[in-house]
Amino acid sequence: MPKVRKSAPTSDTPGRVRRGGGVMSSTGLYIATGVAAFLFLVPFYIIVRNALSTDAEITGENWKIFPTDIQWGNIGELFSDETVPFAQSLWNSAVVATLHTVGVLLVCSLAGYGLARIPYKHANKVFYAVLGTLMVPTAVTFVPSFVLVSSLGWVDTYRGLIIPGLFSGFTCFLFRQYFLGFPKELEEAARMDGLGYWGAYWRVVVPNSLNFFAAMATITFINGWNAFLWPLVIGQDPSSWTVQVALSSYMTNQTVVFHLIFMATAVSILPLVFVFLFLQRWLVQGIAQTGIKG
Amino acid sequence: MSTTTKLDLASSAPAKASSAKPRRGLRGSPTFAFWLFTGPFLIGLAIFVYAPILWSLWLSFFEARFTVTPDKFVGFDNYKYMLTNDDFVGSLGTFTVFAAFIVPTTWALSLGLALLVNRMRFMRAFFRSVFFLPTAVSYVAAALIWKMSIFSGVRFGLMNTVLGWFGVENIAWLIDPNPPWYWLVIVTARLWLQSGFYMILFIAALQNIPEELYEAAAIDGAKSGWQTFWYITLPQLRATSTAVILLLLIAAYQAFDEFFNLLSKTTWGRPPLVELYYKALGESQDYGAGSAGALILTVLICAVTLLQGKIMGFGRGDESK
């Protein structure tokens, strides 16, 4: 993706005319970026450092950069701590985020494809009905949604945690934008060969769109894993807490056990950081091509 | 919508007799196929988005405490109550202050990072990853780190430790609203979390600016640096900037996680969603007033979004890219 461009040859100051304009020398550029990068990494270091320290070392008068001896036992202590069902909450988050991702991709990609590609005279009206929901941020509807879900008896259930979040107008919109740009020739060839819309979609469009699906899957999974307001509202019993709700409960607890809090934070972040580092390229491309560019 | 009608013709030709019966409609009728594809989504949208909003509208005209099937009609009383309620109106003020801080700072920081990273010749992917990585972290986790370590109001807080080297007294970042240091805590947490995402959008946009523009500007004698930035880069980023600002505003309206976790026990610094959370799901369980508040907020968001769309020319959404 990064294309290293040659600087404009017509310029009489070679190398100065670069995109974004250059008021900075190369050294200055790296110093500024380096300082910013350092600041961005500090919070990550704090989590790891505190997760592997004793409480005394976290709250001690003389803050050392490295803990004097590393407390690997904190991991075991976290999972055997009975005040917060942390292992259960991790499992809940894994289930919820995974099913959320599968469901959103399935439902929203189908709808996006229908809106983008299947000729139907009222398709525009349907599209505006979807677009209209983008203006009402999902978080604003949490009161009415809670009222609905609780009257369905879905409080404290996986159903309540997952199903209401599947119908994302925004994801549907992104899929539609993507499918509009998908080369039509491929589908037409498939349909000439006798495939219906369904066959063309599953056998031609989806297999050729795996990059985009992967990017959307990553983003959706991260959002599912990190969601807080809805799981907080729905998860009233600790056994149905997601990991974010469990983390939050540490902050409002009477007794603050610092090393457990930071270990829990580290454990909650680690899976996503790995996902991020491995899938970065896809993610960046995916975000860049979602059509947010406008 | 740029869907073709050609597909209609193609679909009628190869009607294979061997195909299974339930699939016949799929091959023949685009209308049927359209509803089959969009149906599951639209049904869900109707049940879980439109229905709650309508139910909420209905509830907002009733006295609905501890019940979702109320019978005491109160007209616009819930709306009057919310619009004259200091806490709710104050929360709209909190949002305004918050948006006034967070939207320009995130825009500037993410654009700045994009410009820096985009100019790099080596280690570009490394720095991009560093700035992008916080996007993986939840607001809850960030609030925890900010509250328990960096901006902890006591001596072992990182910020107070650093300030201590310069002889500055401990600052109670979150406990005391005078002076309102909590804004610094909230804004920095969100900046850290979301700048990387918008940086990616800006990088994508920067790479779409044709190189010729810079070359032409150089020939015309434009000095590199601020001049090319003002007259070429910034105008070329207009569409992306508009989208970013819109997304930032919507995200700011939805602010809940970090306010709830950083300031949970305090009565000040509550944005609308936190206020509504306590109103509807707190001790009073007042769904009527809560619904009225949610609808007031929805109308406000729609108005702001449409206004911004008018001013900046975004939101038509029908330009196929």
Cβ burial of A146 (10 Å; 0-12, 13-18, 19+) is buried
Whole-angstrom distance, CA of residue B116 vs CA of residue B95: 31
User: What pLDDT is recorded for position A255?
Assistant: 73
pLDDT given for residue A23 in this prediction = 57
C-alpha distance from residue A32 to each of A227, B199, B225 (Å): 33, 16, 16
pLDDT bin (cut points 50, 70, 90) of residue A268 is: very high
Q: Which two tokens mark B5? A: 């009608």
Q: Are A129 and B41 in contact (CB under 8 A)?
A: no
Whether A219 shows a pLDDT value over 90: the answer reads no
Half-sphere exposure of A114 (CA within 13 A, CB side): 30
Residue of A11, A18, A19 to mutate, testing the B interface (most B Cβ within 10 Å of its Cβ): A19
Task: Return the pLDDT at A85.
Answer: 86
Q: Nearest C-alpha of chain A: how many angstroms from B270?
A: 15
| Torsion angle of C-alpha atoms A184, A190, A192, A194, degrees rounded to 10 | -140
Q: Is there a contact between B107 and B240 (Cβ–Cβ < 8 Å)?
A: no
Q: What is the pLDDT of residue B283?
A: 79
| pLDDT band, residue B282 (cuts 50/70/90) | confident
Sort residue A235 into left (φ over 0), alpha (ψ -120 to 50) or beta: beta
Q: In chain A, what residues touch B206 (CB-CB under 8 Å)?
A: 19-20
The neighbouring-strand residues paired with B73 are: B62
Mapping DSSP onto H, E and C, the string for chain A reads CCCCCCCCCCCCCCCCCCCCCCCCCHHHHHHHHHHHHHHHHHHHHHHHHHHCCCHHHHHCCCCCCCCCCCCCHHHHHHHHCCCCCHHHHHHHHHHHHHHHHHHHHHHHHHHHHHHHHCCCCCHHHHHHHHHHHHHCCHHHHHHHHHHHHHHCCCCCCHHHHHHHHHCCHHHHHHHHHHHHCCCHHHHHHHHHCCCCHHHHHHHHHCHHHHHHHHHHHHHHHHHHHHCCHHHHHHCCCHHHCCHHHHHHHHHHCCCCCHHHHHHHHHHHHHHHHHHHHHHHHHHHHHHHCCCCCC
What is the pLDDT confidence band of residue B25, given thresholds at 50, 70 and 90? very low
Ramachandran region of residue A153, left (φ > 0), alpha (ψ -120 to 50) or beta?
left
B47: DSSP letter: I
**What is the pTM (predicted TM-score) of this model?**
0.84
Q: Tens digit of pLDDT for each residue in B155-178? A: 678 888 888 888 888 888 888 888
Does A181 contact chain B (CB < 8 Å)? yes
What does the pLDDT average to over A71-75? 86
Among residues B108, B317, B257, B186, the alpha carbon closest in space to that of A229 is found at B257
- Contact between residue B41 and residue A118 where contact means Cβ atoms under 8 Å apart: no
The radius of gyration computed from the CA coordinates of chain B, to the nearest angstrom, equals 26
Say if the ipTM goes beyond 0.95.
no
pLDDT value at B20 more than 70? no
Under 8 Å CB-to-CB from A274, ≥6 apart: which residues?
none
Q: What is the pLDDT of residue B130?
A: 93
Residue of higher predicted confidence among A191 and B103: B103
pLDDT (tens digit per residue) in B110-163:
999 999 999 888 888 899 999 999 999 999 999 999 988 888 877 678 888 888
pLDDT of residue A171: 92
What residues of chain A lie within 8 A of the CB of B33, using their CB? 114, 118, 196-198
Min Cα–Cα distance to chain B from A85, Å: 17
End-to-end CA distance of chain A: 20
A144–chain B nearest CA distance, Å: 5
DSSP, collapsed to helix, strand or coil, labels residue B210 as coil
Residue A19 has pLDDT above 80, yes or no: no
Distance from the Cα of A80 to chain B's closest Cα (Å) equals: 21
Q: Who among B26, B136, B256 is closest to A229 (CB)?
A: B256
**Chain A contact probe: residue of B19, B224, B254, B275 with most A CBs at under 10 A:** B224
pLDDT value of position A5 = 43
Higher local confidence (pLDDT), A65 or A50 = A50
| Confidence label for A13 from pLDDT (cuts 50, 70 and 90) | very low
Q: Measured between CB atoms, does A182 come within 8 Å of chain B? A: no
Q: Measured between CB atoms, which of A119, A126, A166 is closest to B4?
A: A119
Q: Do B131 and A180 lie within an 8 Å CB cutoff?
A: no
Interface contact A136-B298, CB threshold 8 A: yes
Residue A102 sits at the chain B interface (C-beta within 8 Å): no
Tokens of residue A104, six digits = 């959103």
Alpha helices in B16-168 (DSSP H): 24-28, 30-45, 51-59, 77-83, 86-119, 124-132, 139-145, 158-165
Is the predicted pLDDT of residue A290 greater than 80, yes or no? Answer: no
**How many residues does the structure list for chain B?**
321
Q: Which of A143-147, A220-224, A289-293, B279-283 has the highest mean pLDDT?
A: A220-224
Note the pLDDT of residue A1. 41
Q: For residue A247, is pLDDT > 70?
A: yes
pLDDT value for B16: 41
Q: Is the pLDDT of residue A280 over 90?
A: no
Q: Of A102, A65, A53, which is closest to residue A217 (Cα–Cα)?
A: A102
Mutation site, B31, B88, B117, B138, interface A, largest A CB count within 10 A: B138
Say if residues A23 and B226 touch (Cβ distance below 8 Å): yes
Q: In the predicted model, is pLDDT for residue A74 greater than 90?
A: no
- At B170, is the secondary structure helix, strand, or coil? coil
Element (H, E) at B261: helix B257-262
**Which one has a higher pLDDT value, B305 or A228?**
A228
**In the structure, what pLDDT confidence band is assigned to residue A226 with cuts at 50, 70 and 90?**
very high
Check residue B284 and give its pLDDT: 80
Q: Nearest residue on chain B to A11, judged by CA atoms?
A: B218
* pLDDT tens digits, B218-274: 888 877 778 888 888 999 998 889 889 988 988 888 889 999 988 877 778 889 889
Q: Give the pLDDT confidence score for residue A254 in this predicted structure.
A: 61
Chain B residues inside the 8 Å CB shell of A262: 144, 148-149
Could you report the per-residue pLDDT of B38-75, keeping only the tens digit for each? Answer: 999 999 999 999 998 888 899 899 988 887 778 888 88
Q: How far apart are CA B161 and CA B170, in angstroms?
A: 8
* B321 to A2: CB separation less than 8 angstroms, yes or no: no
Would you say residue A21 has pLDDT above 60? no
Three-state DSSP at B65 gives: strand
- Interatomic CA distance for residues A195 and B210, integer angstroms: 41
Question: A133, B47 in Cβ contact below 8 A?
Answer: no
CB A118 within 8 A of CB B33: yes
The residue type of A238 is: P
| Arithmetic mean of pLDDT, A42-62 | 84
